[in-house]
Amino acid sequence: MPDEFPAAEAVLAELAERIGELAAAGPTGAVLDLFIEVSDARERLRQANLDLRVRVHAQVQQALTQLQDARSVARLAERVPEAVCQLGFDRALFSEIRESVWVPQSCTVLGDPGWAADILRIGRAESPVLDRTVVETEAVRRRRALLVTDAQREARGLACLVEAARLQSYVVAPVVGDGGVLGLVHADRYVQGRQVDEFDREVFGTFAQGLGLAFRRTVLVERLYSLRTEVGRFTMSIADAMDRILSSSHPAAPVVGDPVVPPPGPVPTRSFVESALTPRQLEVLRLMGEGRTNAAIATRLTISEDTAKSHVKQILRKLGAANRAEAVSLFLRTQQGGGTPEPA
């Protein structure tokens, strides 16, 4: 166990000191060999402790990395307990703080999803208030992970939740976002039948700090997606407005539902398809000719799929085409024929 390393180190240190005193009083080969053996054991213990810390902190990094693909705060909150259990805990609870109340949002109990659902239900019904009767208030105030070694005594304000979860010892840490503490995360090792310790608190605190950064990043991602959607709508509105202006001022503008035909007289240097469509619509039509879907066109032109669909509809209307294939065929014929397609 991680917390047993300091105790073992202290025992070995004391033993080495006593052996050293014996060796000083009357050194013998056996005493010196024992002293060397104890010293080696101390060194191996230190190395084992270091290896454990490196391994556990790598697990923290891996757990946080697996949360990076969450595209919404709600989805991230849902996945937090599963990530916590990758650190060696077997029960975890994530709660959102709303003013002075913390409301459980997601829970995981390894091997017992029904129990997790019960804990979540009871926690939401109780909705504990952050006051002086709960240790969580201190965790929020100090913004650091805390170790609760006796839940029955220390978590007085959480009677129902303590009973439902059969809490004994646990760790709790605040999740800090840009606007302050946005949530709490709890964990223990109840299923394993062991108490959490100071090393667990240290690891848990490191995870909670990284989780706060993950929430900040996800908030930004949500805002960017929302902004992209708004920009797409705005761009589509501008395109529609420009099309209406061009349609009303261009003498060769088509009537809705009628196919576009080239004006009488000499063949223009530009095809009539190019004259009828906006530059952006021509880009879309060329991509349609390559067999690309609306989604692929949207990705290629960095626009929303709704905007791509709108462009396709306007192209079909202006060219009087019944479908995409007819529009592409018309475009290709005008390109090959120098500007005027053969009558349909």
Q: What CATH number did the domain enclosing 113 receive?
A: 3.30.450.40
Residue 264's domain comprises 250-337
* Residues 26 and 50 reside in one and the same domain: yes
User: Has residue 144 been placed in a domain?
Assistant: yes
Residue 176 sits in the same domain as residue 265: no
Which domain-ending residue is among 61, 92, 110?
61
Say which CATH number the domain at 318 has: 1.10.10.10
Whether 46 and 154 share a structural domain = no
Residue that is last in its domain, among 219, 240, 263: 219
The verdict on residue 12 lying in a domain is yes
Q: Quick one: 88 and 135 in the same domain?
A: yes
Given 61, 78, 103, the domain boundary residue is: 61
Residues 15 and 117 in one domain: no
| Together in a domain, 176 and 264 | no
pTM value is 0.57
Assess if residue 178 is contained within a domain: yes
In this structure, is residue 231 part of a structural domain? no
What does the pLDDT read at residue 7? 58
pLDDT in tens, 235-271: 777 877 777 776 665 444 444 444 444 445 444 445 6
- Side-chain-facing half-sphere of 108: CA atoms under 13 Å: 19
Report whether pLDDT(302) > 90.
no
How does residue 24 score in pLDDT terms, banded at 50, 70 and 90? low
Domain count of the fold of the chain: 3
